[in-house]
Amino acid sequence: MLVTVLAGGTAGYVLIEGWNAWDAFYMTVTTVSTVGYGEVHPLSAGGRVFTVVLIFCGVGTAFYTATLLATIIVEGGLHQRFEKRRATRMLEDINDHFILCGYGRIGSIIAADLHQQGVPFVVIERNPQRLRDAMERRWPGLEADASREEVLATAGIHRARGLIAAVGTDAENVFTVLTARVMRPDLFIIARVESDDAEHKLRRAGADRVISPYQIGANHMVQTALRPAVVDFVHLATSSERLDLSMEQVHIREDSALANHSIVDAGIRQRFGVIVVGIKRAGGAMEFNPPPEAMMRAGDELVVLGRTDSVKALEKDKGVVA
């Protein structure tokens, strides 16, 4: 509306008074803005009538435009647009991340833990308020249905490290897992399950791990009651709150110096000060507390325990975190 008034006023002065375009535009701006420095040239009777019409139409339009802009700024509309643009850039740049589907009670805890451990992630949540809570913490997110292919593509599924399906219902998790598995057959997928009969459906849909928060919580309570010291030790070793102790898994690559060597020959304990507490073989078998003579082969996963800087040095020198 304001552009139309400015264009119409400029054209009117050109046609009625015969002024050049710049003088006509300058006169229109000073009139509409109520600045009124004075007439650029003396006005004819027709020019004065046109100026009166321009004042009634243009001044109201100018004030309406200013009020609208002020409302957008005060109510946060402009800020929200900048936030959405920032989030879009973050989604385009993020790589080797997790896609967290759902930001409820479980999802918010997962997000906080991933953030504390420095792992990049993207939140997908349909509830506007929940997503707003996540984005207020400057975490990238999308307000959308996580089971849609275009949404997962926008979240960078083809560059993602893994996907965590933690939405409200088992049915939504099944659809989300199935869509993600079709788009990325090699993606590591973890799914939350509510009912026991939905576990096999999630596995058939393509979930690599199916987690029941209720079952894990119950087992943890039993173990705490029977073996509190063991539970405390495991919590210290795996919790991100304990920054000087870390339990991690290290993947042995084909070109790794650890491949085809025993634990004692590789000197892991002597060189890095970490303990190998388990080996997950490439075939899936798990060896707990392996002897020093245990051979390490390409494709195996070492479960190691030690100081965080020592574990990071081992990862950097011999392999990468899986």
User: For residues 73 and 69, what is the distance between their CA atoms, to the nearest angstrom?
Assistant: 6
pLDDT > 70: percent of the chain? 91
Cα 310 to its chain centre, rounded Å, is 29
pLDDT > 90: percent of the chain? 29
Using the predicted structure, report yes or no on whether residue 312 has a pLDDT greater than 80. no
CATH number of 2-74: 3.40.190.10, 3.30.200.20, 1.10.287.70, 3.30.360.10? 1.10.287.70
Using the predicted structure, report yes or no on whether residue 230 has a pLDDT greater than 60. yes
pLDDT tens readout for residues 272-292: 888 898 999 888 888 988 998
How high is the pLDDT of residue 318?
47
Higher-scoring residue by pLDDT: 284, 184: 184
Environment class of 74 (CB within 10 Å of its CB; exposed 0-12, middle 13-18, buried 19+) = exposed
**Average confidence (pLDDT) over 209-230:** 88
Of the pLDDT bands very low, low, confident and very high (cuts 50, 70, 90), residue 239 is: low
Fold of 244-321: Alpha-Beta Plaits (3.30.70)
Domain 94-211 part of CATH 3.30.70.120: no
Higher-scoring residue by pLDDT: 210, 80: 210
**Average confidence (pLDDT) over 10-20:** 87
Q: Say which range, 210-214, 218-222, 247-251, has the weakest mean pLDDT.
A: 247-251
Domain edges within the chain? 2-74, 94-211, 244-321
Of the pLDDT bands very low, low, confident and very high (cuts 50, 70, 90), residue 28 is: confident
Note the pTM of the prediction, 2 decimals. 0.62
**Average confidence (pLDDT) over 15-44:** 82
pLDDT tens readout for residues 50-64: 888 888 888 888 888
Radius of gyration of the chain (CA): 32
**Average confidence (pLDDT) over 1-9:** 86
**Average confidence (pLDDT) over 152-159:** 92
Handedness of CA 79, 83, 84, 88 (dihedral sign): positive
- Same fold: 2-74 with 244-321: no
Give the CA-trace dihedral at 149, 155, 161, 166, to 10 degrees: -80
